[in-house]
Chains A and B, each alone.
Chain A
Amino acid sequence: MGLAKRIIPCLDVDKGRVVKGVKFVGIRDAGDPVEVARRYDEQGADELVFLDITASHEDRETLVHVVEEVAGQVFIPLTVGGGIRGLDDIRRMLSAGADKVAINTAAVVNPEFVREAAERFGSQCIVVAIDAKQVSASGEPKRWEIFTHGGRKPTGLDAVEWARRMKDYGAGEILLTSMDRDGTRGGFDLDLTRAVSEAISIPVIASGGVGTLDHLVEGLTVGKADAVLAASIFHFGDHTVLEAKLRIQEAGVEVRV
């Protein structure tokens, strides 16, 4: 027995409210991030990710209060992503009670930012989020590129190379999202997940495309991810985190139950 694979629900937060409709039975306020976080914690979530999709800078302050409140009641690791652009953003989130921050676009714009952040706060709290899309044609060896701005803007950066570089710059973990699969419920891009996970020595969280519990299993076994992240499968009440863990355990993968 050893280290457990992690199951991580992700909450999209806009102006301090959970969006993408959480539909738990018996929850008083499904838009309240604190309520939702507590529910996932009770179900056995190993960590939580809050993704801030708030457009304006002013409204972003509300997320700080959300993190503060969640951190006072839920005692598992909390990661905050979205709009992390400077050392001050990181400091503010960590002070509010976040354990890690996910850096996405800012890493592409200025890779040195990742190095500075890791040196200042430690690699353990720096997650680099990578949004990748397959760019190779069928028949060619598979290749994925980094895209920013919600998958609209190509960068020309090779995803596997980029993950290696971010590790060298001090990232403690990679949050890897397949833009081809995100929102499809058709399962992870397993080739992408495996390629990145095997290329680097830091943990990889697979994201994008989960529609069934078996997709989670595949991400961990075939994709060789260290953790799996999912949103809608949990939000819509299709499955609890505990159900997911029992299925993964049945498949012979170690989880915390």
Chain B
Amino acid sequence: MTTVAVIDYGMGNLHSVAKALQYVNAHANVVVTSERRELEQANRVVFPGVGALRDCLSALRQRDMEPTLRKCLENKPALGICLGMQALLDFSEENDGTTGLGVVPGKALRFKEQTDPCSNDERLKIPHMGWNQVHQVRPHPLWEGIPQASRFYFVHSYYVVPAAASVVAGETCYGTTFAAAIARENLFAVQFHPEKSQKHGLQLLANFLRWDGNDSLK
């Protein structure tokens, strides 16, 4: 039986992530936790997130979870979702500039108010909210069974720009083409919400629960 820890840092709706994980695998032991011990004992971790990055990071630190989380991100299959993806980078423009965990080199930028070349030059609304296509730019175990260019549910105002293009696993166009998914070794992170993306999202979560943490390209 696999134990998956959904990291609870006291913000946002973690219940939908936990519910979706339980739905795709009734046998999985899903724990929503802020206990270091539970994180250490879990086979895999989900780092979800909504809200503001600064609040998220200070909540992690207040709970003294950062060192344990960093260790998990090094050696367990780990899935970052939305803010949980943005937090992995060095820096975000959010809150007039916020330092991230720096696990993946790169930064998060705010969408600019402009027209969208991907949607008939319509005015770009911010947040980017709704179902957009994700182009899988390389094979990965977490894409298994998910058709190319499937739509996932997004809601965010900042997007991730990794320093190395090689970590980009999926791309989406909204005003600009941005990284909708990044992957490196045992780490996979998505800007969209798989727990709110109906069948393709559930497929991705099911894939994650089966994943041994090996990047297919190795």
Contacts and interface: CB of A to CB of B under 8 A. Distances in A.
A172 interface: yes
A4 B151 contact: yes
Given A75-B195, A76-B153, A173 B129 contact: yes
A229 interface: no
Contacts of B132: 2-4
Interface residues of B, number: 41
A75 B193 CA distance: 10
A254 interface: yes
Interface in B18-62: 19-20, 23, 50-52
Contacts of B215: none
Contacts of A124: 50, 127, 129, 155-156
B51 A121 contact: yes
Contacts of B13: 94-95, 97-99, 125
A93 to B, nearest CB: 9
Contacts of B19: 71-72, 97
A3 B115 CA distance: 13
B86 to A, nearest CB: 13
Given A4-B151, A71-B19, A75-B201, A172 B127 contact: yes
Contacts of B119: 2-3, 254
Interface string A2-46: 111110000000000000000000000000000000000100001
B103 interface: no
B197 A75 contact: yes
Contacts of B12: 94, 121-122
Contacts of B155: 77, 124, 172
A72 B23 contact: yes
Given A75-B197, A256-B151, A122 B174 contact: no
Contacts of A4: 130-132, 151
Interface of B: 12-13, 15-16, 19-20, 23, 50-52, 113, 116, 118-119, 122-123, 125-133, 149, 151, 153-157, 173-174, 193, 195-198, 201-202
Given A97-B15, A99-B13, A99-B16, 16 more contacts: A2-B119, A2-B132, A3-B131, A4-B131, A75-B196, A75-B197, A75-B201, A77-B155, A95-B15, A96-B15, A97-B13, A97-B19, A122-B12, A122-B51, A124-B127, A202-B127
7 contacts: A2-B174, A3-B118, A71-B15, A95-B13, A99-B16, A121-B51, A201-B123
